[in-house]
Structure formats: C-alpha cells, structure tokens
Amino acid sequence: MRTSSSHTQLNKKYVQLEFAYIQVMGHFRKKTDCMNKDNLIVIKGGSHSDIKKALQQWIELYSNDLETDIKFEFYKTGQENHLIVADKRLNNEKFNFLVNYLRYPEGIEYKISIEGYTTAKKEKLYPENILNKRLLIYISDNDKEYDNVFVTTENNETYKVDFSGKITRLNESKTFKIPDIDFDSLSRPEKITLNKTEINDKKKAKSERSIKKRFNVILIILALLTLINTLSLLVIENSEISTITTYFLCFGTGAWFFADYKMLQINKYYNYCFLIAAVFLCYSLLIKYLEPYNVDLIKFSSPFPLSLIAIQKPLRLIFIRLFKREPIVDRPAPSFLDGIYMMLLFFLTISLLVLLMNNLK
C-alpha cells in the first residue's frame, strides 16, 4: 500500500512538473515567435473596418514607394484588438510612417493605443548605437506635433524621431517588452496587398474629378472677367483699361495652362484649352483694333496661351517616348529631367511667342 501510494504521489508530481514545463515552454515559444517576427503592430481600440481602411489608405498614399508585391497580414485578436504583421521589406522609415498614420489617419475618427515592434537596420535613420537592436515604436500620449514617433530600444533608451530627420534622446520612461502573442491560436489573417493598377486607376479617377471641378470654376471666372472687360470697353471711352486687363487675362490664362500640367495630359481638356487660347487670341486682336492703346502690349500677350499649348503637346510626347513617363511641372523640379523639360517648355514658348508677335499686324 505504501509503495502504491508513493508511486501515485510521484506520478502526480511528475504530471504537475510536466504541466508546468509545458506552460513555461509554451510561454517561451510565444516570446520566441514574436522575437522571430519583425514589423509587428499591436493596436488596442478602434473598429476592424476603420483600422483596415486606415491601413489601405496608407498603402495607397505610399504606393509609389513600396514594392509591387508587398504584403500585410491583418489579424483580429479580440474585441477592438488587432495585430498587423507588415512585410519585412518595409524599411524603418516607412514603418514609422505607418505607425504614425494608423494613429492619426486622415478622415477617420477613433481613439487607439498603438505599439510597433521592429529592428533597427543599417539605414541613415538611426545612430550606430541603436543599429541591430529591437525597437518599440509608439506615439506618446503627450504628443502635440503629430509628425513623429517615439522609440524605446531593448535597453530601455527612449528617443523621439522627428520626420524631418531629427532624433532626440528623451528621459521619458517607457519599458521595452516583447508582446505576448500566440500565433498558433490566432485565426487566419486577412492578407492586404498592394495593387498598383487598382490604386493608379483610383488616383486617376480622383485626379480627373478634381481637374473637372477646377476647370469649370476657372472657366467661369475667365468668362466673367472677359465680360467685365468687354463692358468696360463699351462704357468707358478712350481708356487703356481694356488693353491692360486683356494683357493680364492672356498671361493669366497661359500661367494656368503652365501650372495645371495634369489637365493638359488629358486630351479632352487639352482640346478645350486649345479652343480657349484661340478665342483669347481673337478677342485680344479685336481689343487691339477697337482700343488702340499700347498695341505692342496686346501683340506680346495675345499669342501667349496658344504658343504654350502648341509647344506643350509635342514636347510632352517626346519626353514620354524618351523616358517612359509623364513629365512633372513643379517647383522645385522633382528631378533633373523634369527641370530640363520645364526650361525647354518655357524657352520654346517664348520663342514661338516672339515669332507670332512679329507677324501680327
């Protein structure tokens, strides 16, 4: 009996030890799984649909800077608890941008706490003493700037990383910890990928809606100014007002064409602008004969919109053929090639303008 009782007690102790071992090893395995995974984002608060929408908005916002086949795993870990596993190819800077955007998404109202876990890689973002260390990325409750993230290293050193490139050591106490996540217990994640074709189509449609609205507004303004200018010509005799205002109308129209370069990339609006430029040329010549003040002023300004329109399309098509992309007209020029394009567009327009001016009688 004593021997049987002793065996029973030993068996119980063995079972208890085995159970404790399983618990410890399970907990250790969870920690190891999390340590082996990089670019984790743990979110508490917010609805599933809002967080997914914020993630998709960020992907769309940075689509031109991301790998074509980049993937994000989106887990629902509980009531208003979510986990995002970002692609390992997402660099430190973009990972920080993602954490910040999910905390402050555009057009979405929610209140969440967010922590990102990644490793400092050999990039220009972090100093040497942080490289290859595990990092906890978060947004401080005291943050009032909205364009930075806070970083705690595995050594519990805390920094503020400003998106302008400045990194500041802080005394803020934030303890680094590995999130306690059992990936085996999670349901299958929703995989969110980058579809550049779909995103580009959406951006194109949005851009065209914006161009249409802007075109209609500016066209109404130009029509009203032209009407006022015509009435002033009929009411006020022997005045230079119509000549001067016509000058500004012509150059203002040309400046609009130059600045709104995306509008001219759409054939329909290019044709509309060509027609507007031709109308302004005829109108300014009419002003010149009816109100013969500062004739040279009219001769110089009237062909400007038409000159720019005539140069823009062939020059743009040559650029696309050579470099396989649309030119960008912006200040400062985004690239050397775009800068060359802008200069050629300006100087060739002026050259054609002078040529037309000398032939206008």
Q: What is the pLDDT of residues 119-167, one digit of tens each?
A: 998 778 888 888 889 999 999 888 888 899 999 998 899 999 999 888 8
Looking at the chain, the whole-number percentage of residues with pLDDT higher than 90 is 44
The total number of residues shown for the chain amounts to 361
Q: Who has greater pLDDT, 190 or 30? A: 190
Checking if the pLDDT of 270 tops 50, the result is yes
Q: What is the pLDDT of residues 19-67, one digit of tens each?
A: 444 444 444 444 445 545 788 999 999 999 999 999 999 999 998 888 8
What's the confidence (pLDDT) of residue 2?
45
Q: What is the pLDDT of residues 308-339, one digit of tens each?
A: 999 999 999 999 999 999 999 887 888 899 99
Q: How many CB atoms lie within 10 A of CB 275?
A: 11
End-to-end CA distance of the chain: 128
**Domain-by-domain residue ranges, the chain?**
37-194, 197-359
159 bridge partner residues: 151, 169
Write the secondary structure of 57-111 as one string of H (helix), E (strand) and C (coil). Answer: HHHHHCHHHCCCCCEEEEEEEECCEEEEEECCCCCHHHHHHHHHHHHCCCCCCCC
What pTM was estimated for this model as a whole? 0.64
Angle at 296 between CA 293 and CA 302, to 5 degrees: 100
Q: What is the rounded average pLDDT for all residues in the chain?
A: 83
What's the confidence (pLDDT) of residue 198?
81
Closest CA to 72 of 91, 87, 83: 87
What's the confidence (pLDDT) of residue 25?
43
Q: How many CB atoms lie within 10 A of CB 338?
A: 19
Structure tokens at 297: 């002023």
Checking if the pLDDT of 239 tops 70, the result is no
SS3 state at 130: helix
Give, to the nearest 10 degrees, the angle between helix 48-61 and helix 196-235.
70
For 195, phi then psi, to 5°, come to -110, 95
